[in-house]
């Protein structure tokens, strides 16, 4: 018998889904994976990119969905890679990022969750401030081995409780409060 979900997470990225599923379990929201490649419009605005992805995903999935767009924003690089985080990770990766930095290592991770169903199109944004480590620390996906949140001296990859303090957790918490009260 097919399992029924409260809503779907539309993404090509299984790591994002796994974390989102775990986080939403604590809010008693049962999240399914709708694996798909979503075209990203060219924009400097994560919000505009997320909105485009949510509209496409709802058309494809025909069920209530959330999509998430993230960006790592590095102060000394004027916010780069920002909306280009996925492309930059695939091209120069963490080693390439480390080579671009010197003293000022301040950065933030931004998540925008967008929820879309027949009635609503809603956005929930959150940020986590931190620094970029001086070398790769720990084994994790994406930028986890180089991002140290300010509450800690370990990278996301080294932390056991990333899901309790990440940009994704904070945005999903805001989403859940709205979703459960709607
Ligand atoms: P979608 O199909 O959902 O768009 P994506 O991988 O393209 O998947 P994003 O554009 O939202 O996702 O994210 C940009 C990149 O930022 C992503 O590919 C990762 O390399 C990185 N990233 C996002 N969240 C991360 C996290 O929690 N830890 C480490 N890296 C992360």
Task: Locate the domains of the chain by residue range.
Answer: 7-181
Q: Which of 13, 35, 163 to mutate to test the pocket of ligand 1 (most atoms within 8 A of CB)?
A: 13
Q: What is the pTM of this model?
A: 0.94
Find the mean pLDDT for residues 128-133. 98
Ligand 1 centre distance from Cα of residue 82 (Å)? 11
Find the mean pLDDT for residues 83-87. 93
Fold of 7-181: Maf protein (3.90.950)
> Is pLDDT above 80 for 92?
yes
**Sign of the dihedral through C-alpha 36, 180, 171, 20:** negative
pLDDT of 3 reads 62
Give catalytic residue positions: 69
Is any ligand 1 atom within 6 A of the Cβ of residue 12? yes
DSSP bridge pairs for 172: none
Q: With CA atoms as reference, report the closest residue to 128 among 148, 146, 114.
A: 148
Q: Which of 16, 80, 139, 162 to mutate to test the pocket of ligand 1 (most atoms within 8 A of CB)?
A: 16
> Is pLDDT above 60 for 33?
yes
Using CB atoms within 10 Å of the CB of residue 21, give its burial: 0 to 12 exposed, 13 to 18 middle, 19+ buried.
middle
Is any ligand 1 atom within 6 A of the Cβ of residue 85? yes
> Is pLDDT above 70 for 2?
no
DSSP for residue 5: -
> Is pLDDT above 80 for 1?
no
Instruction: Say if residues 78 and 107 touch (Cβ distance below 8 Å).
Output: no
Give the model confidence (pLDDT) of 11-22 as tens digits. 999 999 999 999
The two three-digit tokens of residue 123, written as one number = 């956005």
State how far Cα 130 lies from the chain centre: 16
Please give the Cα distance from 126 to 112 (Å, whole number).
Answer: 7
Give the model confidence (pLDDT) of 36-67 as tens digits. 999 888 888 889 999 999 999 999 999 999 99
Ligand 1 centre distance from Cα of residue 143 (Å)? 9
Lowest mean pLDDT among 33-42, 77-86, 98-107: 33-42
């Amino acid at each position: 018998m097919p399992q029924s979900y409260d809503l779907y997470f539309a993404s090509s990225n299984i790591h994002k889904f796994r974390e989102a599923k775990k986080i939403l379990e604590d809010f008693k929201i049962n999240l399914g994976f709708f694996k798909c490649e979503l075209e990203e419009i060219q924009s400097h605005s994560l919000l505009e990119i997320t909105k485009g992805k949510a509209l496409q995903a709802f058309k494809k999935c025909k069920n209530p969905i959330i999509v998430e767009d993230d960006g790592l924003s590095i102060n000394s690089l004027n916010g780069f890679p920002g909306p280009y985080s996925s492309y930059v990770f695939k091209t120069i990766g963490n080693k390439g990022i480390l080579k671009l930095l010197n003293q000022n290592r301040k950065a933030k991770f931004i998540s925008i969750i967008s929820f879309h169903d027949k009635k609503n199109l809603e956005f929930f944004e959150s940020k986590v401030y931190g620094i970029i480590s001086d070398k790769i620390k720990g084994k994790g996906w994406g930028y986890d081995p180089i991002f140290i949140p300010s509450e800690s001296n370990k990278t996301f990859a080294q932390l056991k409780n990333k899901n309790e303090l990440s940009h994704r957790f904070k945005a999903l918490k805001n989403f859940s409060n709205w979703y459960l009260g709607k």
